[in-house]
A and B are shown apart, each in its own frame.
Chain A
């Protein structure tokens, strides 16, 4: 068994073991899940050290699965999926450990769901067979559905059903598009679902438009892009803290990853027609998401709407179709996972203490929880893209890349950066500073050691990527160069060498 197969199925095996555990309560369940996800994290670090930048798809595994349809169990990992897999393993263990105290009932199912979710996500990031990807893509709906529906807030059932229905409509249309594309590969009778073979298909431009639209709808719902975002605030607000971490940190990335890996490179001609639409929707998402945050009274829905804005940036970076923009988009996906994941964790921690997420119920709590405040502030600054944090590197690269393709889009989006600084700092001021307005906040305990252990790695990553992004960029750029070539629609008049589209290597630009 290869490393990628191990990474995919180890959490599922651990999850089944948890389901068969004789007791449903008791702390050992959380510890077992934590050990399982720690093994997973360590194993995934092998990927980081064993990965050869620019080596194309690595850790490849392939076995016939359904030969009748040319379906293989095919896995592989390039720079694009490498970082996303690492993000997933990191956030999963954090999600598990952060749930020790918050989840008291149905622990077996809860931890098993988190681990099954990890299986689905890593499988989707590593699959190089479109059918296999689709299986993982759909299958991970089930654990997320249970996570929100069973352990969520008051309106959890509404939120979880909405989440599943939205996703299903998109992904079923994608299924039709997959079947349709398969017919092109089957023209000679040797149909296949192999992704690399599909990249070589000559699909007529007219068909590409529809195929791209169907794929894009599925991914746009997952991202979520404006106007397909309405499920997200509901799902986020109702999900348990760890569920929000996984949802924002990892699941949304599957949408942007889908655009990068499937929709755009498979149907470049179709994308060429809709590229402007996507860019416009991305910009609307950026501004609209930021504007909506201003009027939220619930901290969690505030962060949820800010995700709409941040993911809009990612889409803008992808739509810029140059190396800088794409690098920024990929890095920003990781950044968003780290920062927003940390924010949801922190919100979950304070919610456990006070059982409210209303901004109005806090105020001036810096005096009682100084450590919490400082960490929250660092994460906030990263979320608004302060130089020295990871958010800055990502947003900067995206805007730089976007400016080359569409200055107007870049300029409008930059205003949203200011808006973001406004709402996040306003949030921090209303919650933490000023006089202590609610006497019941006087006795809130500060973060304990377990909670610190959970958030410190995220804070470290925020600063590491912010100060020294080179190791990350070095691993993703060679593959992104290939990607830009693959995706760039004909009328953009691609320069012969994609690196000509900017003058300095990206890592130096950021410093």
Chain B
């Protein structure tokens, strides 16, 4: 037993109990969001305190190395931003934002799953972690079942997720069959020593990767994402957009670059990266619903992250971690603004944000920053992140893929700018006049803006942190 290895998870677990107790005692009058945010912050602090340590526990089933710490920090950042967003939208009258105290219990549970996913060193832990991560997400998508579109989103997400879990299990079984172990270290050693059945491991590895590619909505496993994003409550989508993706990409990094390092997966990842950028950017071009737009943009951004994954190498690990941190800021920030917009019951579409710059200049300015960041324009973290990821890819001689990536980036400028154009250059409409952003969303917006701007202006400490996130295994 090494409890230190799962210290953040324990804190989160206690948080879940406290939040659920509050649900019983306070009869829904207490905004549990702030408490949940505090719990996540405490978990992040506990990660930061043991950042230098490598903790192995539970008979080697859990491994908290510096890479796990780094990704846990990214997860906590994304989750904290999303929790503040949800807390700020508490008890809103709008169609998309009704939820109770249990919402935050589910959210914390899901964060536990994410953390375990990147600390798990055993296939069983990974699978259980994925389910702990996913089941609350399905429930959160469905809201309280008060709206048909929420229920539909939850059902769609559940069915797709169950399918992905099945594929993952199949992959795990194949790898077990080929190597005779569930333990990541032993699997890696068996593959490296050539003891494993090559083709079985390869198929198993690809199937496991596909299971997680479903989670991050990389093309061609993305089809659920826009529908689920559009249907689910906006604060939930803010949560979906960053933290689970960081966890899944983190695990993919560990699996492909460390455990399955000797299996040729580069061209597979290359193809997935290219396809995600293509599909995400092209389909985003014609979206008027901003939630769908950000959903497709998320697909494209996972494509950029996978460019780093395809590059491989220990420095690529740092680059992708840094990218995920930046993406957490700008993506959750974007959804937080959408929460502010839809707070008064206005649906967040391109037409409805027309003239927002005149009515709510601060809100429009913040959304513009997130849009410029997502488009990768300096001096935001969006640019810095693309810069480090692409430079890793050029180092790995993937110049062709990088050229595709920048061409798709240029394309993406068009649809991100359209939002900015609508806000600042279109005349205000009746709908946009009804937008009434709640002051309680300000902490989320401020924090997201800081996460988007500071690593863009002064990336060094963040790069150092991400760069030191090495695998302990292999």
Chain A interface (Cβ < 8 Å from any Cβ of B):
65-69, 134-135, 138-139, 141-142, 145-146, 149-150, 156-157, 160-161, 164-165, 168-169, 172-173, 175-176, 179-180, 182-183, 186
Contact = CB atoms under 8 A, between A and B. Distances in A.
A176 B379 contact: no
A168 B464 CA distance: 29
A139 B406 contact: no
Nearest to A24: B361
B391 A179 contact: yes
B385 to A, nearest CB: 13
Contacts of A135: 378-379, 383
Given A168-B410, A179-B402, A138 B459 contact: no
Contact of B377 (A67, A139, A161): A139
Contacts of A160: 421, 425
The 7 A-B residue pairs with the shortest CB-CB distance in the complex, in nearest-first order: A172-B406, A179-B394, A135-B378, A169-B410, A168-B410, A179-B391, A138-B378
Contact of A176 (B372, B394, B421, B425): B394
Contacts of B417: 145, 161, 164
B425 A67 contact: no
26 contacts: A65-B460, A66-B459, A66-B460, A67-B460, A135-B378, A135-B379, A138-B377, A138-B378, A141-B377, A145-B420, A149-B421, A149-B424, A150-B425, A161-B417, A161-B418, A164-B417, A165-B410, A165-B413, A168-B409, A168-B410, A169-B407, A173-B403, A173-B406, A175-B387, A180-B399, A183-B394
Q: Is the interface of B mostly helix, strand, loop or mixed?
A: helix
B463 interface: yes
B197 interface: no
Interface of B: 372, 377-379, 383, 387-388, 390-391, 394-395, 399, 402-403, 406-407, 409-410, 413-414, 417-418, 420-421, 424-425, 458-460, 463-464, 467
B403 A176 contact: yes
B357 to A, nearest CB: 8
Given A67-B460, A134-B378, 7 more contacts: A66-B463, A138-B378, A139-B379, A142-B377, A161-B417, A169-B407, A172-B406
Contacts of A66: 459-460, 463
Contacts, number: 81
Q: Is the interface of A mostly helix, strand, loop or mixed?
A: helix
A164 B410 CA distance: 9
A123 to B, nearest CB: 11
Contacts of A157: 421, 425
B414 A139 contact: no
Contacts of B463: 66, 68-69
A20 to B, nearest CB: 11
Nearest to B460: A66
A135 B376 CA distance: 11
A165 B411 CA distance: 8
B391 A69 contact: yes
B174 to A, nearest CB: 38
A209 B215 CA distance: 42
A349 B146 CA distance: 60
Contacts of B425: 149-150, 156-157, 160
Nearest to A64: B460
Contacts of B378: 134-135, 138-139
Contacts of B424: 146, 149-150
A172 B421 contact: no
Contact of A138 (B383, B388, B420, B464): B383
Nearest to B372: A142
A369 B373 CA distance: 49
A139 B383 CA distance: 10
Contacts of A65: 458, 460
B383 A172 contact: no
A164 B413 contact: yes
Contacts of B403: 173, 176
A67 B421 CA distance: 37
Contacts of A69: 388, 391, 463
B215 to A, nearest CB: 29
Contacts of A150: 424-425
A160 B420 CA distance: 12
Contacts of B402: 176, 179
A187 to B, nearest CB: 11
Given A138-B377, A138-B383, A161-B421, A182 B391 contact: yes
A69 B91 CA distance: 47
A314 B383 CA distance: 32
B92 to A, nearest CB: 29
B394 to A, nearest CB: 4
A172 B394 contact: no
